[in-house]
Amino acid sequence: MTDNPDDDAILADLADGALAGPAWDDWLAARPLAAAELATARRVRLVLAVLEAEAITVPADFEARLRERLREDATLAALLDLGLANLGRALLEMIGVLLALLPAAPQAQTYPPAVS
């Protein structure tokens, strides 16, 4: 997250909602990089909450990887902001559409017993 482990702990608590209020708003205002990191952490936490609500299991390192991608790609962050409320539903719909495009499994043919 940041170069200071104490700031990382504070940011984690701010993202979780354990810390809040005007004093912390002032703290963030004095640290624009920390404020940007907090915004990213909150986006990631929202994505995780949506995925959890949809019973989608993610890999253990998913949160860290998504946070890194959001830091690198502002377009991805903007897309998440636009569609976060329906992200889980959209993922399930896309999976359903893709599965519908797959050919049906062939049915096993049965033959009557041979008469000798």
pLDDT of residue 24: 92
pTM attached to this predicted model: 0.61
Would you give the DSSP letter of residue 54? T
Cβ contacts of 44 within 8 Å, gap of 6 or more: 63, 66, 67, 70
Nearest one of 10, 36, 33 to 23, comparing CA atoms: 10
What pLDDT, on the 0 to 100 scale, is given for residue 27? 92
User: Consecutive 10-residue runs of the chain (116 residues): their mean pLDDT?
Assistant: 74 89 93 90 85 84 86 76 64 72 70 70
The residue extents of the domains of the chain are: 5-99
